[in-house]
Amino acid sequence: MRPTLTLILLACMLQACGPLRQMQKVQSQIPQLGSIGEHRSSLFEKDFQKVGEPILERPISVSLQSIPFSGNLKSRYEKYRVHMGRPPLATTMDSVQLKNLSYYRAEINDLVDLVGELNQDYNSNLSSYLQEDKELVLLSSISFRGDNVLSGKLDSAERLYLTTDRSGTMVLRIGGGIHDGFSIKQSDLEVFDFQKANFCWDKDNKGRSRIAHILMDGGSCPGETEKDPKKLDKTPDYLKP
């Protein structure tokens, strides 16, 4: 089991580490839906380095779509296969299979409840870490393919949700249908694309910084909320002596 952010923070405190940003990162082979990390992108590839994950005491709903491959996404999937050392699709499928090829997109769609979870006391260490590093983002959507067995289970699922299991690890689970309660091992998925979301902050009635919104890629923080929570502490010019 990979260490959680909470365990890393505890180790950091015991060993008197340097700034939080310099903490050892949690290594992850694939981008995991619902995790927190650093996003980097270039013209040819996207990268997500996981640093931790929230504790979820209530299930967070995830939408699931089966989508035919477009030219761009098919090209990205082909590059993913090459990167993983797998043969080109044309050598494993006939023309009919290639034409009908599809993938799944799973996206967190219960953002209000997720904000509520992130602001709970049991996620206070994670919240503090997010306030220290405004570049950290939430991995909000993944595009992937699975094997035939998993695809059959996904096609018959009534819903998907994220939750924290008994071991303290966040899992993606099927809800409803004949496979109700089945946990999907995200490390077994062929995740070839993903989307991220940023955080917008405000203060509660006690003056403490809290997450106000989860902002999908491309938007700006609404109202008086800020992407950088440290800006909430700045005194407005008209109040300065």
The residue ranges of every structural domain in the chain are: 5-232
Which residues in the chain belong to E strands, given as ranges? 36-41, 46-52, 60-68, 102-108, 137-145, 159-164, 170-175, 183-184, 190-203, 209-216
pTM of the predicted protein model: 0.82
Confidence of residue 97 (pLDDT cuts 50, 70, 90): confident
Confidence of residue 88 (pLDDT cuts 50, 70, 90): confident
Other Cβ atoms less than 10 A from the Cβ of 225: the count is 19
Mean pLDDT, the chain, whole residue set: 83
The answer to whether 6 touches 125, Cβ cutoff 8 Å, is yes
Which pLDDT tens digit goes with each residue over 174-230? Answer: 999 999 999 998 888 999 999 999 999 999 988 899 999 999 876 789 999 999 998
- Mean pLDDT for 31-36 is 92
Which pLDDT tens digit goes with each residue over 138-161? Answer: 999 999 999 999 999 999 999 999
- The CA distance from 25 to 163, in Å, is 22
